[in-house]
Amino acid sequence: MNKIDVDLAGARLAALGSGALWWPDRGLLCVSDLHLGKSERSARRGGAPLPPYDAEDTLARLDADLRGTGARTVICLGDSFDDLAAAEALPEAIRLWLARLQAGRRWVWIEGNHDPGPVDLGGSCLAELDAPPLTFRHMARVDGCGEVSGHYHPKARVRTRGGAISRPAFLCDDARMILPAYGTFTGGLRSSDAALAALMGPGAIAILTGARMHVLPMPR
């Protein structure tokens, strides 16, 4: 498994190269910011046309992570859908795929700012989830401790012998971890942005996703 092990508040976690977070002791897989239906929402609002396979690509990667880990619990950390209308417009094939992924598992949708209400797609919908010693919520709080969140779509840049690369990244310090966006076409916010620099402690690290992962002091 392509991963980097991380300790947060006494919980031993694994940041996966896909952008998912794996908690082996709990059989729990966490993903953030799937933004399913992004291409539909963009078309509906007259935005730039996007290839209409974002949901298929996102779910294919999630399917692979679930097979690879055997997760018994899945937490989706908010903004799982680009908006509620996008959730309602999901093709039947995507709904059936989600149902298959949920079968036999506990599945929790955490509410995000793009999807602030319940959706009729199975699982449970919560504002946040306490799973001591960790708390799972969509957006980080300044006073968060043992907190796992998403929302910001962080990315970081590293220089290699082949040149500089920029990738989605986990950000982690002693108090919190912010997950990268898992969804296709989601974009990202540089770790040096003031919003992230203000949240993360001085010893924070960035874990770049991808087939070859990189760990480095969080670029500021």
Cα(133)–Cα(145) distance, rounded to whole angstroms? 9
Query: Given the structure tokens 């969509």, which residue do they identify?
Result: 138
**Beta carbons of 9 and 129 less than 8 angstroms apart:** no
Quickly count: other Cβ atoms within 10 Å of residue 217's Cβ: 12
Of all residues in the chain, the percent with pLDDT exceeding 90 is 68
- Whose CA is closest to 169, among 68, 55, 21, 9? 21
Q: What is the mean pLDDT of residues 11-36?
A: 96
Of 4, 6, 1, 10, residue with least CA distance to 131? 10
Contacts of residue 197, defined as CB under 8 A and 6 or more positions apart, other chains included, come to: 191, 220
> Which CATH number, 2.50.20, 3.30.70, 3.60.21, 2.60.40, labels domain 3-217?
3.60.21
For the chain, the domains span 3-217
Residue 97: which of 61, 52, 63 has the closest Cα? 63
66 pLDDT band (50/70/90 cuts)? very high
pLDDT band at 46 (very low <50, low <70, confident <90, very high): low
Nearest residue to 149 via CA among 122, 169, 123, 176:
176
| Confidence band for 119, pLDDT divided at 50, 70 and 90 | confident
Which single residue is written with the structure tokens 């059989």?
27
